[in-house]
Amino acid sequence: MTVPGTTSPKAGTADVEELLAGLYGAAHAVRDHLRDVLDRVDLSAPTFWTLHYIVVGGPRNVGQVAAACVVTPAQVSNAVEELVAEGLVRRERATRDRRVVVLSPTPRGRTLHQTVWTRVSSRLAERLGGLGADEIGTATHVLHRLTRPPPPAAPHREAVAA
């Protein structure tokens, strides 16, 4: 392991596996924090993530939300029913194509989303309290790099045994 900001040799498989294990643990910690906050506002995780993608992504249809959440449109439809019933999301017909139903957050939905996001953020900030700005910057850089699409692979020819 090297100190952030210093030059180090290229990461090996064991380093990447350790990073993957750390990401897995971090994802579970975030999930646990989120679950605790969602229990307090009486929302399920799938319903919250549906709301999240509608708030963050702007008006979208069910198919677009399903693709963002990596679930089926039927699963999103169930969450949307709950969100509409709670007054957190509204359905509207698209102006260009009246067959399309667009989902958008209500002011109450935006407020609830912001409340949940802020509470989860605060809990994570507590856990990261001992880290310096450089360490947070490095971690943020790594996470953003992981979420960017990979560059196109250079074409290569496979060796063929004679």
Instruction: Please give the residue range of the domain that contains residue 110.
Output: 18-123
Task: Please check the confidence at residue 162 and state whether its pLDDT lies above 60.
Answer: no
pLDDT given for residue 5 in this prediction: 55
The runs of H, that is alpha helices, within 61-106 are 62-69, 73-85
The answer to the question of residue 145 being in a domain is: no
The answer to the question of residue 47 being in a domain is: yes
List phi, psi (to 5°) of 56. Answer: -75, -40
Task: Summarize pLDDT for 42-86 with one digit per residue, the tens.
Answer: 999 999 999 999 999 888 889 899 998 888 898 899 999 999 999
pTM over 0.95: no
Number of domains in the chain: 1
The answer to the question of residue 11 being in a domain is: no
The answer to the question of residue 64 being in a domain is: yes
Task: Summarize pLDDT for 97-147 with one digit per residue, the tens.
Answer: 778 889 999 999 999 999 999 998 888 888 888 888 899 888 888 888 888
The answer to the question of residue 108 being in a domain is: yes
CB atoms within 10 A of CB 42: 8
CA–CA distance, 26 with 15 (Å, rounded to integer): 16
Task: Summarize pLDDT for 10-54 with one digit per residue, the tens.
Answer: 777 888 888 889 889 988 988 998 999 999 999 999 999 999 999
Residue 4: pLDDT band (50, 70, 90) is low
Contact status, residue 104 vs residue 90, Cβ threshold 8 Å: yes
The answer to the question of residue 30 being in a domain is: yes
pLDDT given for residue 81 in this prediction: 93
First to last CA, the chain: 43
CA–CA distance, 127 with 118 (Å, rounded to integer): 14
The answer to the question of residue 96 being in a domain is: yes
Contact status, residue 127 vs residue 136, Cβ threshold 8 Å: no
The runs of H, that is alpha helices, within the chain are 13-41, 45-57, 62-69, 73-85, 107-127, 133-147
Q: Is 103 helix (H, G, I), strand (E, B) or coil?
A: strand
Q: What is the CATH number of the domain that holds 111?
A: 1.10.10.10
Contact status, residue 53 vs residue 76, Cβ threshold 8 Å: no
The answer to the question of residue 159 being in a domain is: no
